[in-house]
Structure 1
Amino acid sequence: MIYGNLQLNTKQMEAKVFEYIELWYNKKRRHSYLNYQTINEFNQIININKAA
């Protein structure tokens, strides 16, 4: 992204990095605190338990 898009200004680059971290990375990364589950996997289990 950095080398292929040199025309991006600072605000645009910040938005792209934020988008990557919040929309992709955090949803794919397994968290040790959540017993090595993704956020989505953890939320699914919580919602199932709440419904029961």
Structure 2
Amino acid sequence: LLRDLDRLLMEETGLPVIVAEDPLTCVVRGSGMALERMDKLGSIFSYE
């Protein structure tokens, strides 16, 4: 969705980057996993 973001991330971090075939599904799945673990990840999402 963001053109050449994969290349920029690779160049800046030196880490390999793979673009998923269906990136929106990956976002939805990852969001669901984070919500299921709110008890452990809650501090990441707080604004305090």
TM-score (norm 1): 0.32
Q: Which has the larger radius of gyration?
A: 1
TM-score (norm 2): 0.34
